[in-house]
């Protein structure tokens, strides 16, 4: 065979993938936002239409505390940038969106970018006729171990809640308990008749240590126990608290410090072996790089939409793997079903998966979203349909505008969490 023929055959092989697709590259025809709150929490979903009939995708951009601003960011800034561009070029479009505002790494823009990014991955999966996890190399496990939340006004109530969770086959439980006379994260806010709720970090620490002493004794050594500090204690107390929890063999202690105080993780590491998880408030690699590089945490807890979507989160997981840090993506109720699908996709394709926070669906959410990931025997399973495998009933979504629902009545929210103070009146982290 001549050199010329061999070269011609080689060029034909290079051209084959484009020919096999049998269709031109899809272009972005329109970008819109579905804003809905079927579970009482504001969910923002970006929908991208292409110029190919029937080819579209959905992405989660939920930042429930400032949801209206994400909607505006998509409609006013990202849509004009994206229309007419190729939907295939996910990485290129991500960089274009990220750099287009010059000032970057803010939660509003990151969530808007995430909505677009995830919608583009959905389109690519639908094109290929594959779930997104197949596009990332396929599964390295069949299911993702989850944890669920147990809480109560009294310690006994929390432990009863934990037993019910364990009875469903769930192998890991987060324990939170109310603090008499004060506000407490994860177990209800005690609101005074006037003024803002009051949180006492020292009373909280004493109460939580009592909870875990009882929890480990009554629930046994086999169940994995977790706890969320929610950045509410001062750094030095956080070090003492982590040391005191060491004896109860936690799966991890979550968000012991506020993002502003992450240097103190070095002090916690020096003093105890309690596993540490951090990151749900992070927006930027500048916040997590040091913690991962110095192995100061065991689990990275980033909220995927806050980081900008699937594309940067996949890169984050790859970086973390090199330093033996595992993933534990944020998965509360203020993540849309599409966001939960993105979480479980990363859980199944990343070797360094650790655990997945899970929030169950309800009838209203299921009315709007078809394809919510399912839990079986304590493991979260991927939707096996192309893309994320989620379809949205937009007429049903319109029935649940932004707001919360109490006793069947709509109550408007400003999107924020309000204010919590220490006994001396200082505003604290939420």
Per-residue pLDDT band for 23 (boundaries 50, 70, 90) equals low
Q: Give CA separation, 163 vs 68, 166, 173, 275, in Å.
A: 39, 5, 9, 23
Nearest-angstrom CA–CA distance, 170 and 147? 7
pLDDT tens for 82-124 read 999 999 999 999 999 999 999 999 999 999 999 999 999 999 9
Residue 379 falls in the annotated catalytic set: no
pLDDT at 42 over 80: yes
Is 185 in the active site? yes
Confidence class for position 7, pLDDT limits 50, 70, 90: very low
What does the alpha-carbon distance between residue 321 and residue 295 come to, in Å, rounded to a whole number?
Answer: 11
| Gap between the Cα atoms of 269 and 262, Å rounded | 12
Model pLDDT, residue 193: 63
pLDDT, mean of residues 351-355: 98
Over residues 361-369, the mean pLDDT reads 96
Residue 1 DSSP label = -
Active-site residue, selected from the candidate residues 56, 185, 252, 299? 185
**What does the CA dihedral 287, 288, 294, 297 come to, rounded to 10 degrees?**
120
Q: What is the pLDDT of residue 10?
A: 37
pLDDT at position 186 is: 85
231: which residues sit within 8 A by CB, 6+ positions away? 255, 256, 257, 258, 259, 281, 429, 430
Backbone angles phi, psi at 148, to 5 degrees: -130, 170
Share of the chain above pLDDT 90, in %: 85
- Residue entry with tokens 């993780």: 265
Does the pLDDT of residue 376 top 70, yes or no? yes
Tell me what pLDDT residue 187 has: 82
The two tokens of residue 356 are 């997945």
Count CB atoms within 10 A of the CB of residue 136: 16
Q: Which residue of the set 56, 147, 149, 230 is catalytic?
A: 230
User: Which residues have CB under 8 Å from 402's CB, separation 6+?
Assistant: 35, 36, 37, 42, 67, 68, 412, 413
How far is 205 from 53, CA to CA, in rounded Å?
57
Three-state DSSP state, 123: helix
The confidence band for 189, taking pLDDT boundaries of 50, 70 and 90, is low
Q: Residue 305: is its pLDDT beyond 60?
A: yes
**Which residue shows structure tokens 């929610």?**
230
User: How many Å apart are CA 375 and CA 194, to the nearest integer?
Assistant: 42
pLDDT of residue 429: 78
Q: What is the pLDDT of residues 260-294, one digit of tens each?
A: 999 999 999 999 999 999 999 999 999 999 999 99
The CATH superfamily assigned to 135-388 is: Enolase-like C-terminal domain (3.20.20.120)
Closest CA to 210 of 186, 179, 165, 174: 179
Domain ranges of the chain: 135-388
CA distance 358 to 376: 12
Indicate if the pLDDT at residue 52 is higher than 90. yes
Look up residue 8 and give its two tokens.
Answer: 């011609």
Q: Two tokens at 252?
A: 């991890």
Q: Are 197 and 191 in contact (CB under 8 A)?
A: yes
What are the angstrom distances between the C-alpha of 151 and each of 173, 206, 346?
A: 10, 16, 28
Higher model confidence: residue 3 or residue 341? 341
Does this model's pTM top 0.85? My answer is: yes
For the chain, the average pLDDT equals 91
CA angle 176, 374, 254 (to 5 degrees): 30
Q: How far apart are the C-alpha atoms of 233 and 225, rounded to whole Å?
A: 20
């Amino acid at each position: 065979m001549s050199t010329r023929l061999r070269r011609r055959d080689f060029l034909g092989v290079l051209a084959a993938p484009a020919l096999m697709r049998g269709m031109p590259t899809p272009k972005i025809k329109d970008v819109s936002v579905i804003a809905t709150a079927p579970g009482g929490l504001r969910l923002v979903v970006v929908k991208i239409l292409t110029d190919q009939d029937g080819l579209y995708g959905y992405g989660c951009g939920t930042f429930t505390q400032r949801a209206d601003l994400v909607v505006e960011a998509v409609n006013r800034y990202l849509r004009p940038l994206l229309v007419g561009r190729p939907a295939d070029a996910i990485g290129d479009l991500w960089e274009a969106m990220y750099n287009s505002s010059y000032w970057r790494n803010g939660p509003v823009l990151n969530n808007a970018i995430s909505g677009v990014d995830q919608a583009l991955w959905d389109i690519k999966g639908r094109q290929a006729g594959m779930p997104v996890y197949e596009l990332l190399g396929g599964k390295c496990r069949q299911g993702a171990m989850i944890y669920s939340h147990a809480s109560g006004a009294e310690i006994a109530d929390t432990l009863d809640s934990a037993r019910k969770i364990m009875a469903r086959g769930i192998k890991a439980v987060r324990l939170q308990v109310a603090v008499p006379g004060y506000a407490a994260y994860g177990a209800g806010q005690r609101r005074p008749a006037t003024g803002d709720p009051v949180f006492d970090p020292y009373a909280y620490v004493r109460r939580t240590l009592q909870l875990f002493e009882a929890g480990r004794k009554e629930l046994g050594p086999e169940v994995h126990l977790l706890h969320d500090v929610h950045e509410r204690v001062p750094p030095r107390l956080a070090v003492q608290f982590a040391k005191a929890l060491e004896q109860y063999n936690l799966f991890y202690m979550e968000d012991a410090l506020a993002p502003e105080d992450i240097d103190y993780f070095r002090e916690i590491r020096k003093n105890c072996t309690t596993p540490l998880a951090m990151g749900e408030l992070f927006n930027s690699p500048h916040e997590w790089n040091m913690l991962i590089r110095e192995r100061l945490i065991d689990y990275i807890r980033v909220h995927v939409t806050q980081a900008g979507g699937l594309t940067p989160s996949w890169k984050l997981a790859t970086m973390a793997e090199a330093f033996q840090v595992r993933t534990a993506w944020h998965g509360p109720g203020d993540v849309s079903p599409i966001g939960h699908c993105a979480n479980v996709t990363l859980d199944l394709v990343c070797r360094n998966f650790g655990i997945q926070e899970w929030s169950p669906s309800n009838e209203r959410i299921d009315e709007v979203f078809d394809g919510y990931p399912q839990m079986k025997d304590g493991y979260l399973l991927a939707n096996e349909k192309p893309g994320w495998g989620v379809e949205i009933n937009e007429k049903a979504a319109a029935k649940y505008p932004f707001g919360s629902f109490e006793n069947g009545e709509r109550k408007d929210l400003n999107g924020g969490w309000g204010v919590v103070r220490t006994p001396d009146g200082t505003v604290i982290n939420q």
